[in-house]
Amino acid sequence: MERALLVSVKIKSEKSNWSIEDIAGELEELVLTCGAHIVDSITCFCEKPTANLFIGKGKADEIALLVQELKASAVIFSCDLTGTQQRNIEDIVAKKTIDRTQLILDIFARHAKSPEGKMQVELAQLQYLLPRLIGKGVILSRTGGGIGTSGPGEQRLEVDRRRIRKKIDKLRGDLKRYSQHRLTVRKKRKENAVPTVVLVGYTNAGKSTLLNALTQAGQIVSDSLFTTLDSLSKSLALPSGEHIVILDTVGFLNDLPHHLIEAFKATLEDVIDADLLIHVLDASQARVYERNKAVFTVLKELGADDKKMVTALNKVDLIEDKTRLERLKQDFINPIPISAKFGENLKELLAQIERNFAGSMVYLELLIPHSRMDLVDLFYRQGKVEDIQYLQKGISVKLNLPKTLTEKLLHSKEIKKVN
Ligand SMILES: Nc1nc2c(ncn2[C@@H]2O[C@H](COP(=O)(O)OP(=O)(O)OP(=O)(O)O)[C@@H](O)[C@H]2O)c(=O)[nH]1
Ligand SMILES: [Mg+2]
């Protein structure tokens, strides 16, 4: 097992609401998610990062001593390091040095399950690696297991830049095909006028737990970060009987590495295309406002920050101070306090989702020819049928239907609007 020494860095000149405790807390969670043993966690304040070491030389020497004393096998930083900084620190501490992006990539590599997910992670890993290669060979060759070695593997680390670029191009091409398939699925959903709701939120907020509670999806839930990497879609019946599609997505994080957002863009296209976002927020977290901000930063990067949104204030079972909850309710968009784990207030959440689609249903009285029996099935699936009569002149239906579907139907000459 990796014996990790954690170094949390706060840059004094950088304006950020994240305290050194937040930074250290998050780093610990990430490292524990990797299954490493934390031998110690130290903090480091620096005015401005230096180009060759990031931290001061004195601090680097101190880390080297600690590494020896605690028999650490890796030093893990809370910040990102350039290739040069990483190598220079490695020279001083004489153990492998891992930065934040590499740590997150490692977790993604461990959790990726689908072929697409694996490809996305590999693409991000190779993009991370490319500027870190010096000249021809690869300096970054690592021995043994542990953090920083999952993914492309030793052998691939040994190939030269050209081959990596070629591999990147191939992965991009393959991923494009997946993306096209996804596009077809989305188009079909749109043609059938099925509204889509996408669960978004900080990692570990309870998105998959909520999906399971609403749809018995059986999505894996775990108290670790980035459990879900593949988006999973399920059908969900609203109180009105209308069926919508609900999707689980990869969790966000403060300063999510850009390579990862880039690589996961295809998966996240569902977010861009959603009719409504359910932002699952862990309301029991002390840093709920910062996490909210981090989520909006990613949404903005995706171009989805102005979507209609319902905020599911999750884990209310853990909140003792009810005045805090009242304040949270005032500060977030369409807030619904819930407990996904204990199924609390989910009805209210569904009603709020429905309110957001209200107006998207239209009441109609139609007369359709018997030859279009296929539509009856569609009506039951997509709408709410109030009355249906099989007459000699055709099938008379009174129903509520999604607006988009109505518009399409009324284009057909066979279908007559009665009212
Ligand atoms: N107490 C409490 N715990 C919850 C609630 N909802 C989820 N959890 C727990 O929070 C942890 C994370 O839940 P997940 O559903 O895996 O979270 P996620 O947002 O899907 O996380 P990632 O897929 O890793 O981004 C699990 O241990 C859940 O049991 C809740 O309402 N109350
Ligand atoms: Mg999940």
| Residues 85-116: tens digit of each pLDDT | 999 999 999 999 999 999 999 988 888 888 88
Phi, psi (deg, nearest 5) at residue 114? -75, 160
CB count within 10 Å of CB 366 equals 23
- Type of residue at 31: V
Output the CA torsion 16→20→22→28 (10° steps): 130
Q: How far is the CA of 378 from the centre of ligand 1 (A)?
A: 36
Q: How far is CA 345 from the centre of its chain?
A: 24
pLDDT digits (tens, 9 = 90+) for 166-196: 999 999 999 888 888 888 887 877 766 678 8
- Residue pair 76/107 in contact (Cβ under 8 Å)? The answer is no
- Type of residue at 393: K
pLDDT digits (tens, 9 = 90+) for 223-273: 878 777 777 888 898 887 778 889 998 888 888 887 788 777 777 888 888
Q: How far is the CA of 377 from the centre of ligand 1 (A)?
A: 37
Asked whether residue 395 carries a pLDDT value surpassing 90, the answer given is yes
Three-state SS for 417? strand
* Mean pLDDT over the full length of the chain: 86
Most ligand 1 atoms within 8 A of CB, residue of 224, 228, 341, 342 to mutate: 341
How far, in Å, CA of 130 to CA of 164, rounded?
7
Backbone conformation region of residue 184, classed left if phi is above 0, alpha if psi is from -120 to 50, else beta? alpha
pLDDT digits (tens, 9 = 90+) for 4-37: 999 999 988 887 778 899 999 999 999 998 889 9
How far, in Å, CA of 118 to CA of 356, rounded?
35
Q: Give the DSSP per-residue string, 186-235.
A: HHHHHHTT--EEEEEEBTTSSHHHHHHHHH-------SSTT---S-EEEE
pLDDT digits (tens, 9 = 90+) for 52-91: 999 999 999 999 999 999 999 999 999 999 989 999 999 9
How far, in Å, CA of 419 to CA of 384, rounded?
17
pLDDT value of residue 137 = 37
314 vs 34, higher pLDDT: 314
CB count within 10 Å of CB 163 equals 12
Q: Tell me the pLDDT band of 139, cut-offs 50, 70 and 90.
A: very low
Report the pocket of ligand 1 as residue ranges, CB < 6 Å. 201, 203-209, 221-223, 225-228, 251, 314-315, 317-318, 339-341
pLDDT value of residue 26 = 92
Please tell me the total number of residues recorded for the chain in this structure.
Answer: 419
pLDDT value of residue 44 = 93
How far, in Å, CA of 160 to CA of 130, rounded?
9
Q: How far is the CA of 210 from the centre of ligand 1 (A)?
A: 8
Residues 197-213, mean pLDDT to the nearest whole number:
95
230 vs 130, higher pLDDT: 130
Most ligand 1 atoms within 8 A of CB, residue of 199, 204, 225, 254 to mutate: 204
pLDDT value of residue 150 = 56
Residues 383-390, mean pLDDT to the nearest whole number:
88
Q: How far is the CA of 281 from the centre of ligand 1 (A)?
A: 10
Output the CA torsion 294→296→300→304 (10° steps): 140
Q: Tell me the pLDDT band of 143, cut-offs 50, 70 and 90.
A: very low
Q: Tell me the pLDDT band of 158, cut-offs 50, 70 and 90.
A: low
> Which range among 64-78, 90-104, 310-324, 398-412 shows the weakest confidence by mean pLDDT?
398-412
Number of H helices, E strands in the chain: 15, 14
Residues 148-175, mean pLDDT to the nearest whole number:
73
Percent of the chain exceeding pLDDT 90 equals 50
Which ligand ends up closest to the CA of 222? 1
Residues 340-347, mean pLDDT to the nearest whole number:
96
Alpha helix positions (H), 37-95: 57-70, 83-93
Asked whether residue 48 carries a pLDDT value surpassing 80, the answer given is yes
Give the sheet arrangement for strand 276-282, strand by strand. 232-237, 243-248, 196-201, 276-282, 309-314, 335-337
Three-state SS for 245? strand
Q: How far is CA 135 from the centre of its chain?
A: 35
Q: Which ligand 1 atom is nearest residue 224's CA?
A: 24
243 vs 365, higher pLDDT: 365
Asked whether residue 144 carries a pLDDT value surpassing 70, the answer given is no
